Every structure is written in structure tokens, then in C-alpha cells.
């Protein structure tokens, strides 16, 4: 059978050969051995020449200065986005037990944390509200209240004259009594009915001061609907960072604890709208659709278990690509470090450089402040 093999990265090319198809994956096909010489013979493919003992790759690794000189990927403070949790009240810092070192904060204490992020050079934060149980309803209407917790928080940050980017999450799960990201009808999340609420939510968040709207709901068509609503309301300059490839992952548990939606969701799941972890080609379709609908930036979530998707999206589309190092990833490393099983700073930085190596332009990570401190010192 004649097939076209796409080889990504530095070896980007298309090769037409006869072979039996391997498992599908647009960016990382299984290439039969007899094809490799044909790829190597192509003029645009770099040739690696030399052999031992004339060539010793360890020479460049011998000194700290030489390792830094030939380093292929670099992590800076500019790559970091800090996710934050805001609660009602005054002067409260409430630790999240399943996320060691992470806390929910009232607006006044959150502003203190954001000032620290600004001072150390972190370019942006993402704000997630912890909605009081009494305001949660089946339809999640509190999401469209211009005086809800996140909108008051965004205005307070703006009034504090903090020079930092504000990213606001758009989804209904913080506001629904059932914990789903959209309106529930007969046990199924109603896509088109949810879109109207998501668009309203985006507009009020933009009006409250958000620079970036980040739809995480995974409803079909939501980027286009939100873009149209923002433009119609005069928010043409507000960007959209789409959670374009968001998987139905088991790594979200601590986050749901943090925002108080775990009890609402119960034993239900989100597999009818979030992506199947087994799929990679589908991620490219999702990203392509979101870009076509007006996404300025795209995101892959979770992060470390999906580095192949990060690389595939980055190489395929060449648009600003972000990864979310989610709560479960953070919790695993933090818990192991607390027990002395891992060096916290070392695994933190190693995990973050892996995102850059995969092609991410930035990382949402709960390590942001700690990583920024380490990077500033180094």
C-alpha cells in the first residue's frame, strides 16, 4: 500500500513509500527500517557525521559552561503562568490538603501573592473561583453574574495597579450543582445550550478586566461563539487561550478539591466532552477547529503525560502552544519530595524544561513561584 509518512521536528518531510500501515499517529508514525535510508538521503535532512574515538559527545558535557553553551532548550521566568484560587471573605489563606504548598486565598491575600508574582517577573496568572455552595445551581447561572467572585477579583486586581496578565477560566463546573462544565439535560451535557452561557461568562470577565479568556469546557464550537460575543461587546483586544486538547484525565482530582467541585461531580465523569486519553489524531482536529474559530493561543491539558501531543501541536500548527502541568502532576512530585523520595527543586525544574523541549511556549504550573525563585537565583 502506498502511504505518506510525516516525520516531524528537525526531520520534517513527507516520504511516499510502499509499506503496511502502522498504528495511526500523525506526528509519530512507526517507520519501517527500510524507509530510514530513503529519509537520510533527502537533501533537507541533517546528517550526523563522525564516529568514536574522533567524535566524543561527552566533551561538550564536561564543564558547566560548555553544557550551558550547547543547551537546546531553555526555561525562563517568562515561560511561567501561575494558577490561583480565590475564595470569599477577608484575610484568609486556606491550604489545599491534596496540593502541598498551594492555598485558596481571599481577594486581599490573593493580591499579595500576585504582587509577589509580578515582582519576580511572572508574566501572567490564571484565576479560578471557589463558588459558595449556596450559589451553585443546575444551570450554573452564577457564571453570568457580573458581580460574581471572579469578576470582583479581576476588578480588585486591576484596581491594585498590578502589571500582570490576567487569564480567566470559562466553564460552568465551578457554578453547577452537578459539577459538569455545561448545562445538564437528561444526564447529558447540552452543547449548544451551554454555549450561550459560556459566551455571556466570557463577556463579563472581559469587562471586569481579564486580558485572556480561557475556555476549558470542551463544548463544540465554543471558541467561535465566544470570539463573536467578545467582538460584539467591544472586546476585540481580549485574547482567547483555548483549552484545545483537554483530556478526560484522572490527574485533575486535587484541582477539583481546590475549587470545591469534587463533591458536586461525585462518581460522574466528563468523558462525553473531554478527550479520550488514547487519542492523538483527534487532538489535532480539536486544535485546528479552535484556531479556525479564532483562538489566539492553544493549550494541551494535562501536561507531562501528554508531551507527545504538545510537540505534535507545536510542530503542526506553529501557533502559541501552552501546557498545563495539572494538580495531579504537581501533587505527585510534591508529596514524594515531602517524603524525601525526590529532590523537589530538581524534579520541578526537570519537569518544566521537558515542556520547553516538547515545544511549549509557556506552562501553567503551581510551581511557578518556586520555579521563578530558582531561575532568578541561578
Of the candidate CATH numbers 3.30.460.80, 3.40.190.10, 3.30.930.10, 3.20.20.70, the domain formed by 77-377 belongs to: 3.20.20.70
Find the angle CA(101)-CA(104)-CA(106) to the nearest 5 degrees: 135
Q: Is the model's pLDDT at 87 over the cut of 80?
A: yes
By C-alpha distance, which of 375, 316, 362, 276 is closest to 79? 362
Q: What is the pLDDT of residue 266?
A: 83
As annotated, the active-site residues are: 246, 301
- DSSP H or E segment with residue 375: helix 368-377
Rg (the chain; Cα; Å) = 22
Per-domain boundaries in the chain: 1-48, 77-377
Q: Residue 85 in contact with residue 130, Cβ under 8 Å?
A: yes
Q: What is the pLDDT of residue 12?
A: 43
Instruction: Please state, in angstroms and rounded to a whole number, the distance separating the CA atoms of residues 55 and 193.
Output: 63
Among residues of the chain, what percentage have pLDDT more than 90? 79
Q: Residue 229 in contact with residue 222, Cβ under 8 Å?
A: no
By C-alpha distance, which of 253, 377, 243 is closest to 326? 253
Q: What is the pLDDT of residue 17?
A: 38
Instruction: Please state, in angstroms and rounded to a whole number, the distance separating the CA atoms of residues 300 and 305.
Output: 10
Q: Residue 257 in contact with residue 96, Cβ under 8 Å?
A: yes
pLDDT band at 42 (very low <50, low <70, confident <90, very high): low
By C-alpha distance, which of 128, 317, 154, 313 is closest to 235? 154
Instruction: Please state, in angstroms and rounded to a whole number, the distance separating the CA atoms of residues 295 and 246.
Output: 15
Q: pLDDT tens, 117-176?
A: 999 999 999 999 999 999 999 999 999 999 999 999 999 999 999 999 999 999 999 999
- DSSP states of 15-84: EEEE----S--SSS----GGGHHHHHTSTTS------TTT--GGGGGSSHHHHHHT-S----GGGEEEEE
Q: What is the pLDDT of residue 259?
A: 84
Q: Is the model's pLDDT at 190 over the cut of 60?
A: yes
pLDDT band at 9 (very low <50, low <70, confident <90, very high): very low
By C-alpha distance, which of 360, 363, 350 is closest to 324? 363
Per-residue DSSP letter, 176:
B
Rounded to an integer, the average pLDDT of 260-280 is: 88
pLDDT band at 239 (very low <50, low <70, confident <90, very high): very high
Instruction: Please state, in angstroms and rounded to a whole number, the distance separating the CA atoms of residues 208 and 165.
Output: 13
Q: Tell me the C-alpha to C-alpha distance, in Å, between residue 83 and each of 47, 194, 314, 351.
A: 43, 25, 22, 17
Backbone phi, psi, residue 142, to 5°: -60, -25
Instruction: Please state, in angstroms and rounded to a whole number, the distance separating the CA atoms of residues 89 and 107.
Output: 8
Q: Residue 320 in contact with residue 297, Cβ under 8 Å?
A: yes
- Cα separation of the two ends of the chain: 54
Q: What is the pLDDT of residue 24?
A: 54
Rounded to an integer, the average pLDDT of 182-194 is: 93
pLDDT band at 257 (very low <50, low <70, confident <90, very high): confident
- DSSP H or E segment with residue 188: strand 188-190
Find the farthest-apart pair of alpha carbons in the chain and give their distance in angstroms, rounded.
72
Rounded to an integer, the average pLDDT of 315-321 is: 97
Q: Is the model's pLDDT at 273 over the cut of 80?
A: yes
Q: Is the model's pLDDT at 253 over the cut of 50?
A: yes
Q: Residue 118 in contact with residue 164, Cβ under 8 Å?
A: yes
Across the chain, mean pLDDT equals 90
Amino acid at each position: 500500500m502506498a502511504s505518506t509518512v510525516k516525520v516531524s521536528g528537525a526531520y520534517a518531510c513527507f516520504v511516499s513509500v510502499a509499506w503496511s500501515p502502522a498504528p495511526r499517529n500523525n506526528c509519530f508514525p512507526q517507520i519501517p527500517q527500510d524507509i530510514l535510508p530513503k529519509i537520510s538521503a533527502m537533501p533537507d535532512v541533517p546528517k550526523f557525521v563522525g564516529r568514536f574515538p574522533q567524535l566524543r559527545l561527552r566533551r561538550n558535557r564536561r564543564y558547566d559552561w560548555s553544557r550551558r553553551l550547547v543547551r537546546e532548550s531553555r526555561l525562563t521566568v517568562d515561560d511561567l503562568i501561575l494558577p490561583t484560587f480565590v475564595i470569599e471573605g477577608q484575610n484568609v489563606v486556606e491550604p489545599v490538603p491534596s496540593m502541598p504548598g498551594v492555598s485558596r486565598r481571599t481577594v486581599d491575600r490573593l493580591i499579595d501573592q500576585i504582587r509577589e508574582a509580578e515582582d519576580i517577573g511572572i508574566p501572567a496568572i490564571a484565576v479560578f473561583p471557589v463558588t459558595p455552595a449556596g450559589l451553585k445551581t443546575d444551570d450554573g447561572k452564577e457564571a453570568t453574574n457580573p458581580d460574581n467572585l471572579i469578576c470582583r477579583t479581576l476588578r480588585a486586581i486591576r484596581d491594585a495597579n498590578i502589571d500582570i496578565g490576567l487569564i480567566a477560566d470559562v466553564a460552568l463546573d465551578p457554578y453547577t450543582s452537578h459539577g459538569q462544565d455545561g448545562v445538564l439535560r437528561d444526564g447529558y451535557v447540552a452543547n449548544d445550550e451551554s454555549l450561550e452561557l459560556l459566551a455571556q461568562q466570557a463577556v463579563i470577565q472581559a469587562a471586569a478586566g481579564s486580558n485572556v479568556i480561557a475556555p476549558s469546557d470542551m463544548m463544540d464550537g465554543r471558541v467561535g461563539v465566544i470570539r463573536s460575543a467578545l467582538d460584539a461587546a467591544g472586546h476585540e483586544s481580549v485574547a482567547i487561550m483555548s483549552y484545545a486538547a483537554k483530556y478526560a484525565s484522572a490527574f485533575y482530582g486535587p484541582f477539583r478539591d481546590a475549587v470545591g467541585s469534587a463533591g458536586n461531580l461525585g462518581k460522574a465523569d466528563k468523558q462525553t466532552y473531554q478527550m479520550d486519553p488514547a487519542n492523538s489524531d483527534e487532538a489535532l482536529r480539536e486544535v485546528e477547529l479552535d484556531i479556525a474559530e479564532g483562538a489566539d493561543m492553544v493549550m494541551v491539558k494535562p501536561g507531562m503525560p501528554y508531551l507527545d501531543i504538545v510537540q505534535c501541536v507545536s510542530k503542526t500548527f506553529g501557533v502559541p502552544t501552552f501546557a498545563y502541568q495539572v494538580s495531579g502532576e504537581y501533587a505527585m512530585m510534591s508529596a514524594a519530595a515531602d517524603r524525601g523520595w525526590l529532590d523537589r527543586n530538581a524534579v520541578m525544574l526537570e519537569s518544566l524544561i521537558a515542556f520547553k523541549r516538547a515545544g511549549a511556549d509557556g506552562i501553567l504550573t503551581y510551581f511557578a513561584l518556586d520555579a521563578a525563585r530558582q531561575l532568578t537565583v541561578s
